[in-house]
């Protein structure tokens, strides 16, 4: 697995982390990756998500607010869904650490000094070590996939609040979520389980579950906590806006499109029916 973090407009490489020895010129391939994404965005009105090229599988994720493009490539023995889930974890961690804290400062942070991001390679190493371990333990591999899915679902729910709520309703809903998280963190059971304390909420950066280490927790317990979190936030949105309006918001924010496009993975994880009922039913 090799990972690029690029400026999506210029193709400049902020960070490159290789784990495979590929006969590639780093600068040349970075420009090509950005150019391919720009071409498909211009011609097809949407960027690349996943392609197979040069005997490898490639996954793309773009964050338009920060003008960043995240690309991962791997051998074909890793599924496109798993590669995308892993890349999403890396993307969300990078955005939390460098972008979301101050988006205006971010716009001038890295220009001409990509060495600022070298410490992030150590974080990628930690994730990579977890994934290597997971490949030999199927239950952990499955758990990593579940975390990636849950994080994306939580991101989409925050997008609903950010994109459709009035400022007053948004503030009120975020206060309810903050109160819910405060009660959650104060619970004795959570305090006794360090990995559960890594589930966090911030009105600016959203909900973060990707810091959980699957090797240090009871996976079934964590999964149950996150499912409950998703359910409660979904119910908050429905209660605030009503079922039919909320259903329209879910459609606009591509929640059902995400479920359908990832149906194979969600079925493998026994999550497709749960999410479909949660978002579709009253």
Distance in angstroms (rounded) separating the CA atoms of residues 11 and 72 = 15
Q: Are residues 100 and 180 in the same domain?
A: no
Share of the chain above pLDDT 70, in %: 83
Q: Helices (H) and strands (E) in the chain — how many of each?
A: 12, 7
Q: Are residues 156 and 86 in the same domain?
A: no
Q: Are residues 36 and 103 in the same domain?
A: yes
Question: Burial, 204: exposed, middle or buried (Cβ in 10 Å; 0-12, 13-18, 19+)?
Answer: exposed
Single out the residue in 121, 136, 151 at which a domain terminates: 136
Q: Are residues 129 and 212 in the same domain?
A: no
How much is the pLDDT for 66?
Answer: 84
User: Which parts of the chain are beta strand (E)?
Assistant: 2-7, 13-18, 50-53, 56-63, 68-74, 200-202, 206-208
pLDDT tens digit sequence for 152-184: 999 999 999 999 999 999 999 999 999 999 888
How much is the pLDDT for 39?
Answer: 53
Q: Are residues 144 and 256 in the same domain?
A: yes
Q: Are residues 125 and 111 in the same domain?
A: yes
Domain range for 48 is 2-136
The answer to whether 156 touches 275, Cβ cutoff 8 Å, is no
The answer to whether 90 touches 124, Cβ cutoff 8 Å, is yes
How much is the pLDDT for 268?
Answer: 75
Single out the residue in 87, 119, 136 at which a domain terminates: 136
Residues in the chain where the model's pLDDT stays below 50: 44-45
Read off the pTM.
0.58
CA angle, residues 93, 99, 100, in degrees to nearest 5:
85
Q: What is the CATH number of the domain that holds 43?
A: 3.30.450.70
Q: Residue 61 in 3-state DSSP?
A: strand
């Amino acid at each position: 697995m090799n990972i690029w973090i690029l400026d999506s407009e210029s193709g400049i490489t902020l960070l490159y982390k290789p784990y495979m020895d590929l006969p590639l010129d780093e600068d040349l391939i970075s420009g090509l990756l950005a150019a391919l994404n720009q071409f498909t965005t211009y011609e097809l009105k949407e960027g690349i998500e996943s392609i197979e090229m040069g005997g490898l599988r490639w996954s793309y994720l773009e964050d338009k607010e920060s003008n960043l493009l995240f690309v991962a490539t791997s051998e074909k023995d890793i599924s496109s869904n798993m590669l995308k889930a892993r890349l999403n974890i890396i993307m969300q961690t990078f955005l939390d650490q460098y972008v979301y804290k101050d988006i205006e400062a971010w716009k001038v942070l890295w220009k001409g000094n990509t060495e600022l991001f070298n410490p992030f390679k150590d974080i990628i190493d930690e994730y990579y070590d977890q994934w290597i371990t997971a490949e030999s333990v199927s239950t952990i591999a499955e758990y990593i996939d579940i975390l990636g899915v849950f994080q994306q679902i939580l991101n989409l729910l925050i997008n609903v609040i950010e994109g459709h709520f009035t400022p007053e309703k948004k503030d009120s809903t975020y206060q309810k979520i903050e109160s819910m998280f405060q009660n959650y963190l104060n619970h004795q059971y959570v305090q006794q389980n360090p990995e559960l304390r890594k589930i966090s909420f911030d009105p600016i950066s959203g909900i973060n579950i990707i810091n959980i280490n699957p090797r240090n927790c009871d996976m079934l317990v964590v999964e149950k906590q996150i499912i409950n979190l998703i359910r409660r936030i979904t119910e908050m949105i429905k209660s605030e806006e009503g079922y039919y309006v909320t259903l329209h918001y879910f459609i606009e924010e591509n929640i059902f499109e995400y479920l359908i496009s990832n149906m194979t993975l969600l079925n493998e994880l026994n999550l497709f029916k749960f999410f479909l009922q949660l978002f579709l039913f009253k």
